[in-house]
Amino acid sequence: MIVAERKPLAEIRSFVEDYRRILILGCGTCTTVSLCGGEAEVKIVASGLRISFLHEGRDSEILEDCITRQCEPEFVEVARQKVKDESIEAIVSLGCGVGVNLLAQLLETVPVFPGVNTKFFGAVVEPGMWLEMCAGCGDCILQLTGGICPIARCSKSLLNGPCGGTRDGKCEIGEDVDCAWALIIERMKSLGTLDRLSEMLPARDWSTSRHGGPRRLVHTEVANVNVQETEGEAQ
Amino acid sequence: MGTNPMPRVESTVHAPCAAACAVHTDTRQLVEFIANGRYEDALELLLEANPFSSVCGRICHHPCEQSCRRAKVDAPVGLRRLKRFVMETMADSRHLRRERNIPQQDKARVAIIGSGPSGMTAAHDLARLGYKPVVFERHATPGGLLGQALPRYRLPYSVVKEDIDDIIALGVEVRTGIEIGIDIKLDDLLKDGFSAVLIATGLSESRTLGIPGIDSRGVQLALPFLLAAHSSRPVENGKRMVVIGGGNVAVDVARTARRLGAEKVTMVCLESRDEIPAWPWEIEETEEEGIVLMPSWGPKSVFSENGAIKGIELKKCLSVFDSEGRFRPQFDESEVATVAAEGLVIAVGQSGDLTCLEDAAVELVGEGRIQWDRETLATSREGVFACGEVVSGPGSAVEAVLSGHRAARAISHLLETGNLLEQPPEELPHIGDLPDDVASKVTLLSPIGVSVLAPEERVKGFEEIETGYSEADALREARRCLACTTGALVDEEKCAACLTCVRICPFGVATVERTAAMPQDECQACGLCAAQCPAAAIALTRFSTRQMKDQLREVVPLVKSQSRATPVIVSYCCLFEVTGRDFLRSAESTGPGRGIVPISIPCVARLSTADLLSPFEVGADGLVIIACREDSCLYPTAEDRLLYRIRQAKGVLGEIGMEEERIDYWKTNGSAEVSWGAFWALSQKKLGEILNRKGE
């Protein structure tokens, strides 16, 4: 799950204060589930902006909507039509950064502003709290680390065990941050596979991650694209 | 101003209370109306279902309560008493309503024989359909046995009269002192311009017993005894009385005899204690009044001296019914007992009096029963129908009312189409039992009692033994309703399966597979999931704040323009703390002049964060939320959830540079009447200081 957090209203307001018809657009998938961009949050943001504009004597109109996913052109089309029909001048997207990008791409003349800060790929550890668990590095090594990702969960993304900053299972950067390598070692002990950590690994190829530039993924069972061509392009 | 419920969602399943009522009174809706102070709507609802609502508010055997799902938690909701409360409180409105509801009567004349609940209900319905019903009653006053024989300590005649007068006000003509079959022949009715005849004569004849000595002086039948007692005619009543029978009529006789001065009353019945057919609460009250119960005894002979009863000999009854459930009592003749008495009343059942059918060419079957079709309500003679106990056997008042409704439909259909109408019995599907694991999580609330005369006071006369609810009590009792069938509904299109509802449901009811679901038979309609759903995908069937926001948009700017000096505060208040609707009305009408816009809500924990912000959107300077008293919320965790949302709303205000102190949270202290005004004053003062500081 992509996890995000709503931006402070004062910041959102600063994006849109020069517009008169503003659409707050929620996303019905990841940001709904991470409690910052669903229809309920759209109402809160819209309400906050209206209250603020009312006090400043501004005469802007705030509209509300929420689409199923902002990362799909077909769903965005619904919003595009609304923008056209309702003469929207600016959009505040409560979708993740992906949503803002796609909206911006498909809505040529209307500015799209981010209403949330997209944080990470995470899991719920208790109601209302998420922890980062994946960095989307493009070459998963969880089979080697007991299912616990050192790239996402170690502060230094170390691949060769804990550093000197580990203390009683916690990371030196903060008491509420687990040391990923302490978790990995405990986990592999309980699995009886601790000895696998002594195996030598080849140097990691980081080109699958951000280091290789913007990434593209093709499913040829759906996309009619020449794979060779695509791979060549990606490189 | 209140939260208006969403347009009613027609559910295919009903609350068990409504399904159990013979006339399907929507008791759940009734309680909701009462809780919201909408007594006029409650009155309308009751009278639409049952023109004998005043009577039923007193003496209904309340199957609604017997099926109330709250019984599994602590005790059923006092639905009958709530009905009585509405009928008593709204007596004046009922009179005014009469004048508004007089129907045009330009259709055929229909003769109705008998003015008990079935006949009068049929007359009521036919009059409303535009017919001209004429009711013939052989007694001097209408009401049937309800009016003539039911002891006044259970049902004062004035109560029967309220219902009867209401029906008469529709244009129903009641001709008393006329016995059809003697004074007028049924044939003549049909010849004299009545298009149909309805026989609704009830069971007006007491059965007797064929035992030796039964003709002794001092032996009486139940109905003549009750009729005489009711009309204050002299009643033969010995110092020691025996009543034979175990039904509700026997109980009425025994308790009446006690009130007429009998020092010792013994009730003898064939049935064992567990099988006694009278309602258990009647038996309980009977014993409280010192009446001796002798279950499992049957009468053997009456012994007398000089023709006057001296007592009765009894034989042990081993069983009453055979293996197929037929009445076939078995006795042990060797085990006998005697009870000395100066009077004996036989209350072993009633039969119909078919005098009205003299020369009427209406066929009888068996031992003198009217040949009758229970679905068309037709007799063998065209245009002659029958309803009520005379055809269906002994039953309750509300069943008689149902029978009257059906008869009116049957007659109207015949007169309009020339055909008989098949009316199969109608059973409403209901949501079933409250599951045990949910029941164990529901907050306990003791039922609100009423004051009841002490047994030693009761037996001194015929004063009604039970008082009605006060308004405060009725409102407290209404709060106990579990609001069955009004739970959460999920918009599956919107649901993101985020599990928030599952995580916060205090009753462990919400589930998520592909989307969320709150099974209707389990959901307690607290609304916490709806208030918290990030997709706004959950709504309560009977609660929405949408209209509240529209009302605020109208009212707040108006109040603001009228009271410039005063900070304008919207106050969301827990409806359940109000002990009288006048207070609410007065707060709603005088509040705005002082800058307070009160909105009562059945549990403020149902408000979402957006609801908490909306007053500010429309220009309110502040928001005051007044919850219920400490430890009195119906829903576990609800207050904590509300406090989290208040924190969130304050955070939003802070983010846009407004003071978080503009939102105040209070808990009712004592009652709404006592504490709310003080809270408003304190919040207004604080807000005034904030605004002064800012120079607003």
| Whether B286 and B369 share a structural domain | no
| Whether B93 and B41 share a structural domain | yes
| Whether B493 and B604 share a structural domain | no
In Å, how far is A188's CA from the nearest CA of chain B? 31
Comparison of pLDDT for B392 and B100, the residue scoring more: B392
Which chain B residues are closer than 8 Å to A55 by Cβ? 656, 658
Any CB–CB contact under 8 A between B536 and chain A? yes
Report yes or no on B423 lying in a domain: no
In angstroms, rounded to a whole number, what is the distance separating the alpha carbons of residues A48 and A6?
A: 12
Comparison of pLDDT for B3 and B280, the residue scoring more: B280
Q: For residue B224, with 0-12 CB atoms within 10 Å meaning exposed, 13-18 middle and 19 or more buried, which class applies?
A: middle
Per-residue pLDDT for B564 more than 90? no
Q: What average pLDDT does this structure show over B397-403?
A: 97
Give the pLDDT confidence score for residue B105 in this predicted structure. Answer: 85
Closest Cβ opposite residue A52 in set B534, B537, B656? B656
Q: What is the CATH number of the domain that holds B328?
A: 3.50.50.60
Any CB–CB contact under 8 A between A142 and chain B? no
Give the pLDDT confidence score for residue B359 in this predicted structure. Answer: 85
In which residue are the tokens 């008689």 written?
Answer: B400
Report yes or no on B4 lying in a domain: no
Q: What average pLDDT does this structure show over A127-152?
A: 96
Could you tell me the residue ranges of all domains in chain A? 2-119, 137-204, 209-235
Closest Cβ opposite residue A44 in set B494, B503, B652? B652
Report yes or no on B582 lying in a domain: yes
**Joined tokens for residue B323:** 């293996």
Mean pLDDT of chain B: 93
Q: What average pLDDT does this structure show over B113-136?
A: 97
In angstroms, rounded to a whole number, what is the distance separating the alpha carbons of residues B146 and A57?
A: 70
3-state secondary structure of B340: strand
Give the pLDDT confidence score for residue B367 in this predicted structure. Answer: 79
| Whether B247 and B329 share a structural domain | yes
By CA distance, what is B618's nearest residue in A? Answer: A51
**Joined tokens for residue A127:** 């109601």
Q: For residue A208, with 0-12 CB atoms within 10 Å meaning exposed, 13-18 middle and 19 or more buried, which class applies?
A: middle
Give the pLDDT confidence score for residue A193 in this predicted structure. Answer: 96
| Whether B302 and B277 share a structural domain | yes
Q: What average pLDDT does this structure show over B250-271?
A: 95
In Å, how far is A165's CA from the nearest CA of chain B? 36
Report yes or no on B3 lying in a domain: no
Per-residue pLDDT for A235 more than 60? no
| Whether B659 and B684 share a structural domain | yes
Using alpha carbons, select from A52, A114, A107, A60 the residue that is nearest to residue A82: A107
Give the pLDDT confidence score for residue B315 in this predicted structure. Answer: 97
Decide if A127 and B614 are in contact by the 8 Å CB cutoff: no
Please count the structural domains in chain B. Answer: 5
Per-residue pLDDT for B565 more than 80? no
Give the pLDDT confidence score for residue B7 in this predicted structure. Answer: 39
In angstroms, rounded to a whole number, what is the distance separating the alpha carbons of residues B507 and B522?
A: 8
Report yes or no on B644 lying in a domain: yes
**Joined tokens for residue B337:** 């007992």
pLDDT band of A228, cuts 50, 70, 90: low
Contact B226, B153 (CB under 8 A): no
DSSP track, B678-691 = HHHHHHHHHHHHHH
Closest Cβ opposite residue B534 in set A38, A47, A48? A38
Report yes or no on B667 lying in a domain: yes
Q: What average pLDDT does this structure show over B603-627?
A: 97
| Whether B262 and B346 share a structural domain | yes
Interface test with B, best of A31, A35, A49, A51 (most B CBs within 10 A): A51
Structure confidence by residue, pLDDT tens digits, B476-523: 999 999 999 999 999 999 999 999 999 999 999 999 999 999 999 999
Report yes or no on B234 lying in a domain: yes
| Whether B464 and B509 share a structural domain | no
Give the pLDDT confidence score for residue A38 in this predicted structure. Answer: 98
Q: What is the CATH number of the domain that holds B58?
A: 1.10.1060.10
Contact B596, B485 (CB under 8 A): no
Give the pLDDT confidence score for residue A227 in this predicted structure. Answer: 58
B498, B518, B540 - which closes a domain:
B540
In Å, how far is A225's CA from the nearest CA of chain B? 32
Interface test with B, best of A13, A31, A32, A70 (most B CBs within 10 A): A32
Closest Cβ opposite residue A8 in set B494, B533, B655? B655
Any CB–CB contact under 8 A between A60 and chain B? no
| Whether B30 and B152 share a structural domain | no
Using alpha carbons, select from B3, B178, B163 the residue that is nearest to residue B83: B163
Of chain A, the percentage scoring pLDDT greater than 70 comes to: 96
Give me the helix-helix angle, B117-128 and B397-417, nearest 10°.
40
Enumerate residues 6+ apart whose C-beta is below 8 A from B73.
B434, B439, B442, B444, B482
Closest Cβ opposite residue A48 in set B535, B537, B613? B613
Q: What is the CATH number of the domain that holds B585?
A: 3.40.50
| Whether B225 and B286 share a structural domain | yes
Which chain B residues are closer than 8 Å to A51 by Cβ? 613, 616-617, 652-653, 656, 658
In angstroms, rounded to a whole number, what is the distance separating the alpha carbons of residues B43 and B494?
A: 39
Any CB–CB contact under 8 A between A69 and chain B? no
**Buried/exposed code over B498-534 (b: 16+ C-beta within 10 A; e: otherwise):** bebbbebbbbebbebeebbbbebbbbbbbbbbbbbbb
Work out how many CB contacts closer than 8 A connect A with B. Answer: 83
Any CB–CB contact under 8 A between B557 and chain A? no
Structure confidence by residue, pLDDT tens digits, B62-108: 999 999 999 999 999 999 999 999 999 999 999 998 888 788 888 99
In Å, how far is A51's CA from the nearest CA of chain B? 5
Q: Which domain holds residue B609?
A: 546-694
Enumerate residues 6+ apart whose C-beta is below 8 A from B227.
B148, B149, B233
Structure confidence by residue, pLDDT tens digits, B326-384: 999 999 999 999 999 999 999 999 999 999 998 888 999 987 899 999 999 999 999 99
| Whether B452 and B525 share a structural domain | no
CATH class of A2-119: alpha beta
Decide if A51 and B536 are in contact by the 8 Å CB cutoff: no
Closest Cβ opposite residue A13 in set B504, B537, B656? B656
In angstroms, rounded to a whole number, what is the distance separating the alpha carbons of residues B133 and B120?
A: 9
Report yes or no on B425 lying in a domain: no
| Whether B552 and B651 share a structural domain | yes
Enumerate residues 6+ apart whose C-beta is below 8 A from B291.
B254, B255, B258, B265, B266, B267
